[in-house]
Each structure stands twice: as structure tokens, then as C-alpha cells.
A and B are shown apart, each in its own frame.
Chain A
Amino acid sequence: MKKIITFIVTALLAVLACFSLTACGKNKKVEDGATIVIGVTDYAPMDYLEDGQWVGFDAELSKIVFEKLGYKVEFKEIDWDTKIVTLNSGKIDCIWNGMTVTDELLDNVLLSNVYLQNQQYAVVKVANQANFTNLDSLKGKKVAVESGSAAEDALADVDCELRKLTNQNSAVMEVAAGTSDVAIVDYTMAKTLTSAGSSYEGSLVAIDLGFEVEEFSIAFRKSDSKLCFNVNKTIKSLINDGTVKELAEKYEIENLLVD
């Protein structure tokens, strides 16, 4: 018995020792002129695949910015749930994918200046549309959100029954299935999922309940402060010369431009 206990304790200590060493990858720095690996998901209109190529507002903007700074660009599809781990492990060098700033991100990664605005929208069944007009209409309702998302943060003070799912699609699917009354997701997501070509077209509708305006940002490793600084500077110049506005018009999200 004693042997077994000693063995288990040793095993646990070994595992702990492994975890305490998990700091190395975090300090990785992108070298000048290197290839920057951008972590993305298939998320129209920000980053999406068309004939095998990554296009979209973020895909084009990121290419322009990094090429101006003398980097080569490679897009890598990631799992959104583990984006922070993927970034800090060095598998990717930044996350540029219509990402809303949350407390979790602020704690773990370095965030760029805001380059687009975001707002949470409600997705409900067309038949229930009339019941949802403002934030108060969420009271007592079954509300589906992505766990750890900006929507969850935004609903902290609302008295409703939260269903925390792994991603925004699942939240919207809950509404379609009837297992939740309403899903709170990003504006771009709400629009994509209720527009032409979606299975939900005509049955679900996106509504503005008056959530506060949020911010889209780009994530870097904390060790890449110089890179982040340069990206901020470049984006500012692209906003000033109208390139960002042009791109936003191309992808029909000009309402998200920062004033």
C-alpha cells in the first residue's frame, strides 16, 4: 500500500514539474523578414476560403500590413477554443480573425489597437421577433452564447438562463432547434448566419438589442511588442489613407469602421 501511495505521489509530482516548465514557447519572438503565421478560422466576411485561398476583410488587411512591414504571410486554420494556447505555443504568430477584446485575452496575450468595432446581436426565430426589442427582453429567457466570448461578458448583469456553448455556431443552432430562446453573437456572425445561403435564412433573424459597442483587435504573444507596435502604426496609416474604408466597403461592413 505504502509503495502504491509513494508511486502515485511521485507520478503527480512529475506531472506538476512538467506544467511548471511550460513557459518556453511564450517567449518566442518573430524575427525581421520572417514568415508570419496568422491564425484564422473560416469566418466570413473576415477570413474565409474561396477556391483554396484565404480572402476576407481581415485576410486582405493583414496581408497588406505585413507585406508593408517586410514579412511574408501564411494563413493557418486553428481551433478557436484553443486560440490562446496555439498562439503562445508558437504554432501561430498572431490571431487576426474578427476577434472581440475580452478580459481573458487581455490577461494572456498582447492586443493591438482597435481596428474595427463590433456589437453583439441577438439571433431569434422570426416568429418570436416581436418579443425581443431591448436588453430587458432577455430577462428570464434561455440565452445561448459562446463560452468565454464577449457576449458572455456582456450578459453578466442580465438576469437570464445562460447556455454556454463551445462556439457561436452552436449557439445559433440552439435557437434553430428551440433548445434556447435567443443566441447572442457577433454582428458579423449574426449577419452571415441569417443571410442568403444559410440553412437559417428566413427562419432566424438578427436583431440589435442595443448592446454596447465592442472592439475588434489582433492578438500577438506578449514577447512580440515591437511587432505589435509596428502593426498599430501601419494600420493607422492605412486608416488615414482610406485603404481600410475601401476594404470595409468591399466586404460590406462599413458600419463597423472606427469613428
Chain B
Amino acid sequence: MWNITLNLLSGFGVTCLIFILTLVFALPLGLLIAFGGMSSFKPLSYLIKTIVWVVRGTPLMLQVMVVFYAPAFLLGWSGLQCTAATVVAFVINYACYFSEIYRGGIQSITKGQYEAGQVLGMTKSQIFSKVVLLQVIKRIIAPMSNEIITLVKDTSLARVIATEEILFVAFNRYVSKGIIWPLFYSGAFYLLFVGILTIIFNKLEKKLSYFKA
């Protein structure tokens, strides 16, 4: 039992690693993509919209396989290690989803606030960083937490390229030998993790609700 817990924990370490790296890279990348998509330079915004369409329009599992195998087949280059390939695919995928949440948040700020900023003599970037951004963060926290919680469980898709995350460990070390219960036990790890995240997001939401009377 203890041994199995330790083995599952090592798999859960990989799960957490994928989760954290994806967030670290996808959160800023998503903002860049959101700006690109809203750019008034049409070719750029069309390009970004096409990329977002492709990434959101194909299964994440397929994208993981493409990132892992495509360099090897197309260029004969042995490519990324499985965990690295997983992170790359996850960052691209989640950045696209995040970008749409950012865009929704940014566009929900009324035009009047931009105009007020201009009247006060603020530059475009000042308006964004001092007026718009804080309100955007407040507004997108609920959809973001939704997406981030989904990310915790999506990490299990990395199994298709034999990344040793927790579900892979449960399946390939135990279920393959006829020991089934670790599979359900691994669910507890996800549950605990998501529980902690939920508490953090609730706290964050409360802290950021300062505009409400």
C-alpha cells in the first residue's frame, strides 16, 4: 500500500510538473495571442485566428501525438522527450483557450473607460495597465479557474506517448498486472489537488471583489 502510494506519487509529480510548466508558459503566451487576434493589422489577426481555430478544433490528445512524432517523421530528428513534448503541446493548446478568455475579458471593458483615459491624457499602454488590466483579471477569474481545473485532469492525456504521469503509472504498473484498485486510488490525488485549487480560487475571487459595494 505504502509502496503503491509512493509510486503513484512519483507519477503525480510528473502530473504537477506538466501542470505548472503549462501554466507558467501558457498564461503569458495566451495574452500575446489575445493581442494578436485583436490586432488591427489584418494578416496577423487572421493568422492568429486560424491558429486558434486549428488548436481548439482538434483533440488535445492528437496534438500531443503530433508534437511528439511529427519532428521524427518529417525531419528525421528524434525530437523532444515525452514530458517536454507534452508540455509544448499543452502550452500551445491552453494558450489558445486562455487567449479567448482574455479577449472576452478585455472586450468587456466599455469604450467609455478608454475615452476617459484619453481625456485624462493617458497613453494607450497606461490605459491598459492602470485601468483595464485589473478589471480584466477580476472578470476572467471564474472562467480561468474552470480552464485551469480542466488542465489538471487533461494531463492524463499525456499517457498516449507514454509520459509517466499518475494514470500511466496506475495503468502500466498495476492494472497490467491485474491489480485494479490503484487506478481508482489515483483519482483521489486529482480530487485533492483540485480541492486545493478551488479553495485558492475562491479566496482570490473574494480578495478581488473590492469594487463591489
Contact = CB atoms under 8 A, between A and B. Distances in A.
A49 B168 CA distance: 14
Nearest to B65: A82
Interface of B: 50, 54, 65, 68-70, 72-76, 78-79, 159-162, 164, 171-173, 175-181
A193 B75 contact: no
Contacts of A200: 178
Contact of B69 (A89, A173, A197, A199): A89
Contacts of B73: 21-26, 88-89
B50 A25 contact: no
Q: In the complex, which of the residues A27, A91, A176 has the most CB atoms of chain B within 10 Å of its own CB atom? A: A91
Interface stretch (A40-48, A59-67, A127-135, A154-162): A40-48
14 contacts: A18-B70, A24-B75, A26-B73, A41-B176, A42-B176, A43-B176, A79-B160, A79-B162, A81-B160, A82-B160, A90-B76, A91-B79, A169-B178, A198-B179
Contacts, number: 84
Given A193-B177, A193-B178, A194-B178, A42 B172 contact: yes
A239 interface: no
Nearest to A172: B178
B84 to A, nearest CB: 13
B58 to A, nearest CB: 10
B72 A192 contact: no
Interface of A: 11, 18, 21-28, 41-44, 49, 76-79, 81-82, 85-86, 88-91, 167, 169, 172-173, 176, 192-194, 197-201
Contact of B177 (A44, A82, A86): A44
A192 B76 contact: no
Contacts of B178: 169, 172, 192-194, 197-201
A28 B161 contact: no
Contacts of A11: 50, 54
Nearest to A7: B50
A176 B179 CA distance: 12
A25 B76 CA distance: 5
Contact of B172 (A21, A27, A28, A77): A77
Contacts of B54: 11
Contacts of A194: 178
A157 B173 CA distance: 34
Given A11-B50, A79-B160, A89 B179 contact: no
Nearest to B70: A18
Given A25-B74, A27-B76, 10 more contacts: A18-B70, A24-B76, A41-B172, A49-B173, A78-B162, A79-B160, A79-B161, A89-B69, A169-B175, A193-B178
